[in-house]
Amino acid sequence: MGTATEPRPEGIRTSASRSAAHGDLYAVLGLEPRASREQVERAYRFCLELYGEGSVATYSLLEPTEAEQQRLQVREAYEVLVDVERRRAYDEGRGLLPPDSPVLAFPVRVSAAPAAELPPVLTGADLRKIREARGMSLRHIAAVTKIGLRFLEYVEEDRFALLPAAVYLRGFLLEYARLVGIDPRRTADAYMGRLPARG
Amino acid sequence: MALSVSEVLPVAVPRTRRQIWSVGGGKGGIGKSLLAASVGWQLARMGRRVVLVDADLGGANLHTCLGLPTPERTLADFIQRRVSSIEECLTDTPAPGLRLISGAGDLLSAANIKHLQKVRVMNHVRAIDVDVVLIDLGAGTSYNILDFFLLSDVSILAVVPEPTSIENGYRFIKSALYRRLRAAAPTDEVRQLVDAALDPKNSLGIRTPVDLLARVEAEDAEAARVLRREVAGFQPRFVVNEVRDVADVGIGHQLVAACARHLGLRASYAGFVHHDDSVWQAVRRRRLFMADAPTSRAAEEIRQLTRGLVKGESLGHGY
């Protein structure tokens, strides 16, 4: 019996195939971006077994061609992530921190914009502009805050119907603003003031 | 006509700290009853007041697992109103704190109990004054079984490391999830999409819950949000029974990953139980191995997985 630990909800946010379509090599292997080399190796072996020919866990879920497609994606992801240079280029392209950097390094470098500069009304597009101006990826925010990437995308796309209940949304906005380096409370107020009333 | 979960589960039932646990698995002969009996036994050892309910109405044998003769009063007596309260069907077991409601008896008709009878059973089961009601579900994916599974706080899915069992396990999960989604569907159009998804060869190309949610999302974003919440609330916990080696143990991790990646489900791996001769030796003596062979590997594994289930913990992700 193994040690009981709470598992990370691997692959929950998107299905594996959709992760690959978005080019998320970490999600293909069920990893967080800061995974160590050893974790990459272990996840690779796990995924090869998961999608291997005759795997009891997937043979009745996937057609043989789908399993082959999954194996292909797993190999491609592994080949990039196991190669130091290729992984660095990939991480940089997606605004991710290198795996050996301290977690808090990024936000510390960001200079917070004075609260007075925030407009009274903030749209998702405004938030995206502020974030991009600070060179921060949405994926990074998702990784640090543990907020689902999908929800962060909904916030920036103003997809109000898909956003969670107000109390959670407010929490998301506070976290988002803290990381981006703008006033959390004002950000939440300025964004949520635009929400249509929900029954 | 299929009845929705919300019809089956009246909202008026008061929530208490009492928990409903269930053990399902789709396939027969994979050790569901022994698992239920031994987890129930361990819960009682941990000081919980437990009632085991044998809901395998067509093939009840939980009493035999516990070393009891066929009980005088069974669930059939309650269903057929030969007794007025479900408490009258309670049978004591050798373990303090553990009682049984047997499903044994002349139950060819009870295996197909009517909707209203089912609601009555469910309401009375939920009202029993104990800490945990642990239901041993029968094999298959009938609505009766799925509804008991869906009303549970802890839904345990037993499999053995064999293709047939795992195939049935997935079928069980999909059937339960679609039943839950159908009940939650806010519009007729969405309900029709869920119905279409139930046919694996549907013309809409919906093969998995992930496909279904994508399709609903395209047509009705608000409905998709409702269904996502239902999917998130559906968290079956796998127990892999009869494992023989490390590869068998790893199957539980693979099932969790496959559920997440290809069904969009947050399942977890509660634990595994090794194939253990002392288990069937105890069965042949009509004794529960937890009592008969408490130092056996299987007994220790049951203790560990039960403690994990109580704490809401599960095994890691396997790599």
Is A100 domain-assigned? no
**What is the count of residue pairs from A and B with beta carbons less than 8 Å apart?**
105
| Smallest Cα distance from B61 to chain A, Å | 28
ipTM of the complex: 0.82
Q: How many domains is chain A built from?
A: 2
Same domain (yes/no): A62, A117: no
Is A9 domain-assigned? no
Q: For residue B255, which residues of chain A lie inside 8 Å, CB to CB?
A: 57
Span A137-156, average pLDDT? 86
Same domain (yes/no): A46, A79: yes
Is B257 domain-assigned? yes
Is B212 domain-assigned? no
CATH number of the domain bearing residue A113:
1.10.260.40
Q: Band of the pLDDT at B224, cuts 50, 70, 90?
A: very high
Segment among A19-28, A148-157, B235-244 with least mean pLDDT: A19-28
B205 touches A at CB < 8 Å? no
Q: What percent of chain A has pLDDT over 70?
A: 76
Of residues A22 and A168, more confidence is placed in: A168
Q: For residue B263, which residues of chain A lie inside 8 Å, CB to CB?
A: 61
Per-residue tokens: B40: 């129930």
pLDDT digits (tens, 9 = 90+) for B228-264: 999 999 999 999 999 999 889 999 999 999 999 999 9
How many residues does this entry show for chain A?
199
| Smallest Cα distance from B153 to chain A, Å | 18
Q: Which pLDDT value is given to residue B45? A: 94
Q: Band of the pLDDT at A97, cuts 50, 70, 90?
A: low
Q: Which pLDDT value is given to residue A86? A: 92
How far, in Å, CA of B228 to CA of B256, rounded?
18
CATH number of the domain bearing residue B114:
3.40.50.300
Is A44 domain-assigned? yes
How far, in Å, CA of B302 to CA of B165, rounded?
20
Same domain (yes/no): A142, A176: yes
Q: Band of the pLDDT at B14, cuts 50, 70, 90?
A: very low
B317, closest residue in chain A (CA to CA):
A7
Is A172 domain-assigned? yes
With an 8 Å Cβ cutoff, are A12 and B266 in contact?
yes
Q: Is residue B198's pLDDT more than 50? A: yes
Q: Which pLDDT value is given to residue B122? A: 84
How far, in Å, CA of B289 to CA of B65, rounded?
9
Q: Is residue A164's pLDDT more than 70? A: yes
Same domain (yes/no): A86, A122: no
Write the secondary structure of chain A as one string of H (helix), E (strand) and C (coil): CCCECCCCCCCCCCCHHHHHHCCCHHHHCCCCCCCCHHHHHHHHHHHHHHCCCCCCCCCCCCCHHHHHHHHHHHHHHHHHHCCHHHHHHHHHHCCCCCCCCCCCHHHHHCCCCCHHHCCCCCCHHHHHHHHHHCCCCHHHHHHHHCCCHHHHHHHHCCCHHHCCCHHHHHHHHHHHHHHHCCCHHHHHHHHHCCCCCCC
Segment among A134-148, B68-82, B288-302 with least mean pLDDT: A134-148
Is B204 domain-assigned? no
Is A82 domain-assigned? yes
Q: Is residue B302's pLDDT more than 60? A: yes
Q: Which pLDDT value is given to residue A197? A: 72
Same domain (yes/no): A62, A121: no
Is B189 domain-assigned? no
Q: For residue B305, which residues of chain A lie inside 8 Å, CB to CB?
A: 1
B64 touches A at CB < 8 Å? no
With an 8 Å Cβ cutoff, are A161 and B253 in contact?
no
Q: Band of the pLDDT at A87, cuts 50, 70, 90?
A: very high
Q: Band of the pLDDT at B202, cuts 50, 70, 90?
A: confident
pLDDT digits (tens, 9 = 90+) for B56-109: 766 778 898 898 988 889 888 888 888 989 999 999 999 999 999 998 655 544
CATH number of the domain bearing residue A32:
1.10.287.110
Q: Which pLDDT value is given to residue A32? A: 85
Contact criterion met (CB below 8 Å) for A77 and A25: yes
CB nearest to B257's CB, from A3, A30, A39: A30
Structural domain including A130 reads: 105-192
Q: Is residue A104's pLDDT more than 90? A: no
Q: Is residue B124's pLDDT more than 50? A: yes
Same domain (yes/no): A88, A115: no
Chain A contact residues (CB < 8 Å to B): 1-12, 15-16, 18, 30, 39, 42-43, 45-46, 49-50, 55-62, 159, 161-162
Q: Which pLDDT value is given to residue B253? A: 93
Sign (positive or negative) of CA dihedral A20, A25, A27, A29: positive
Q: How would you classify the pairing of strands B50-54 and B237-243? A: unpaired
> What is the pLDDT of chain B when averaged over all its residues?
87
Question: Looking at A37, A65, A93, which one is the last position of a domain?
Answer: A93
Span B14-36, average pLDDT? 82
Q: Is residue B115's pLDDT more than 90? A: no
With an 8 Å Cβ cutoff, are B315 and A9 in contact?
no
Q: Which pLDDT value is given to residue A111? A: 40
How far, in Å, CA of B172 to CA of B160, rounded?
14
| Smallest Cα distance from A158 to chain B, Å | 13
pLDDT digits (tens, 9 = 90+) for A165-177: 888 899 999 989 8
Q: How many domains is chain B built from?
A: 1
Span B153-180, average pLDDT? 94
Q: Which pLDDT value is given to residue A20? A: 47
CB nearest to B163's CB, from A2, A7, A59: A59
Is B52 domain-assigned? yes
With an 8 Å Cβ cutoff, are B258 and A49 in contact?
no
Same domain (yes/no): A180, A111: yes
Structural domain including B31 reads: 18-179+231-311
Q: Which pLDDT value is given to residue A21? A: 45
Same domain (yes/no): A177, A112: yes
Same domain (yes/no): A113, A35: no
B224 touches A at CB < 8 Å? yes
With an 8 Å Cβ cutoff, are B316 and A55 in contact?
no
Question: Looking at A27, A59, A93, which one is the last position of a domain?
Answer: A93
Question: Looking at A35, A63, A93, which one is the last position of a domain?
Answer: A93
